[in-house]
Amino acid sequence: MTFALVIATLTLSYLLAPQPMNACAQLIPSSLQSTIARAYPGSKLVRESEYAADDIASELQYRHGNRCLGAATADVNGDGRNDFMFLIATKNGDALVIAAVSISDAHWKLATVETFRHSSPYGYFVNTLPPDKYTDMFASDNAPDDWRPEPGRLRHYASRRPGFVAGRLESTAVAYFYTGTRWVHLWLSD
């Protein structure tokens, strides 16, 4: 074989080889990805490949088969359509936790529920929470510190619908629930 033919064969083999799956991009519908690109220009949706394999393996049992630690889906407003929470990396170096509620099949209401300043999103996670009664860890009888008010933070919340949880892997966890008009949250671990 000539050198040019070898190069062409190797290039074709590379192009036809199975590319690594990106569970994050597969989870998020294209209409939502387009909305993210318009609302957060220059941002990048977190990718499955940016998480350590052992982190994915240890978290998989809690994720109903979702390999993307940086995105989750649940019907948080009860309209029968999937809503999402996910992490993005902004062009200025922050990591954002974004909630997206489906308004119609291709339209979304976005809210930034958390900003991790000058931080990569890859040490953080997003997952779902079942409907239940939740108490902020600082509002309990054996709280490690005093409960401090902040916008959208509640001491207790009884959810009839699923919610989301986001935080740092093996560390913090904050529960988020959509009330129909706004997002509320409670600290579950610190």
| 52 pLDDT above the threshold of 60 | yes
Alpha carbons 155 and 166: distance in angstroms, whole number: 17
Confirm if 62 and 134 have CB atoms less than 8 A apart. Answer: no
| 110/39 Cα distance (integer angstroms) | 8
User: What pLDDT shows up at residue 63?
Assistant: 86
Cα Rg of the chain (Å, integer): 19
pLDDT at residue 12 in the model: 37
What region does 27 belong to: left with phi over 0, alpha with psi -120 to 50, or beta?
Answer: alpha
* Residue written as token pair 């409960």: 147
pLDDT at 9: 44
Q: What is the mean pLDDT of the chain?
A: 87
Looking at residue 123, what is its pLDDT? 87
> How much is the pLDDT for 15?
35
Residue 133 buriedness (CB in 10 A; 0-12 / 13-18 / 19+): exposed
* Lowest mean per-residue pLDDT among 8-22, 29-43, 47-61, 158-172: 8-22
All structural domains of the chain with their residue ranges: 19-189
**Which of 32-41, 51-60, 138-147 is the most confident on average?**
32-41
Strand ranges, E, within 92-159: 95-104, 107-116, 124-129, 133-135, 156-158
For 186, list phi and psi in degrees, rounded to 5: -140, 140
Length of the chain: 190
Query: Which is it for strands 133-135 and 156-158: parallel, antiparallel or unpaired?
Result: antiparallel
- The pLDDT of residue 55 is above 50: yes
Q: Inform me whether the pLDDT recorded for 20 exceeds 80.
A: no
> H/E element holding 36?
helix 30-39
Asked if residue 186 has pLDDT above 50, the reply is yes
**pLDDT confidence band for 183 (50 / 70 / 90):** very high
The rounded Cα 76 to chain-centroid distance in angstroms is 14
What local confidence, expressed as pLDDT, does residue 187 receive? 95
Mean pLDDT of 75-101: 95
Residue 113 clears pLDDT 50, i.e. is over it = yes
3-state secondary structure of 185: strand
% of the chain surpassing 70 pLDDT: 89
Write out the two tokens for 125.
């996670």
Query: Span 25-41, mean pLDDT?
Result: 95
